[in-house]
Structure 1
Amino acid sequence: MQTRKLNPLEFHETRTNPKRVEAGEPIVDFWEYVAAIPAEDFAFADCRAGNVTHVYRMDDKYEHVLINSQYQGVAMVIVVDLQSQSIYGHMLLDLNPAGTKEPDH
């Protein structure tokens, strides 16, 4: 399966008017895609536990599915294109303040 690592600009362009999704089933099964993401795209984060606690809908265009890592504020985001019902790409999102020391692994 082919994956697509989004750069920050591509990711930002999918982020419009986010609203948290509180319940429901995923539009697409994204776990096969997650398994195909190259290890280097996870950098220092370990998202293998597969804990999804946040999903955000972006103006009925995209959904951002956040797969938590072992670190607070760091998650792999799977971006789902709602129109095509396919995965648009992924990006490791680190919400910690700039200059925060990378966790020891």
Structure 2
Amino acid sequence: MQTRLLTPDDFHATRINPVRVTDGTPPLNFWDYVAAIPAADFGIADCRAGQVTHVYRMEDRYEHILINSQYQGVAMVIVVDLPAGGVFGHMLLDLNPAGTKEPG
């Protein structure tokens, strides 16, 4: 399976009026995609537990599914293209303030 690592600009272009999804089922099974993501794209983050606690809908265009890592504020985001019915790409999102020391 081919994966696509999103640049910050690619990722931010998919943020359109985010609304948190609190119930429902995923629009597709994205776990095969997650398994195909190269280890280097995870950096120091470990998302193998597969814990998803935040999902955001971007109008009817995208859904951002955040897979938690062992570090607070760091998650692998799977961006689902809703009209296409597939995964658009992924990006490791670090919400910690710039200049924060990388967890060790």
TM-score, length basis structure 2: 0.99
- Once residues 19 and 50 of structure 2 are traced to their aligned partners in structure 1, the CA distance between those partners, rounded to angstroms, is 22
- Quote how far apart the aligned CAs of 1:67 are: 0.1
- Once residues 101 and 68 of structure 1 are traced to their aligned partners in structure 2, the CA distance between those partners, rounded to angstroms, is 19
- Once residues 43 and 49 of structure 1 are traced to their aligned partners in structure 2, the CA distance between those partners, rounded to angstroms, is 16
SS for the counterpart of 2:96 is coil
- Quote how far apart the aligned CAs of 1:59 are: 1.1
Deviation digits for residues 20-45 of structure 1 (CA, Å, limit 9, x no counterpart)? 00101111100000000000000010
Structure 1: 5+ residue stretches without partners: none
1:97 is matched with: 97
Q: Percent identity?
A: 73
Structure 2: 5+ residue stretches without partners: none
1:86 is matched with: 86
TM-score, length basis structure 1: 0.98
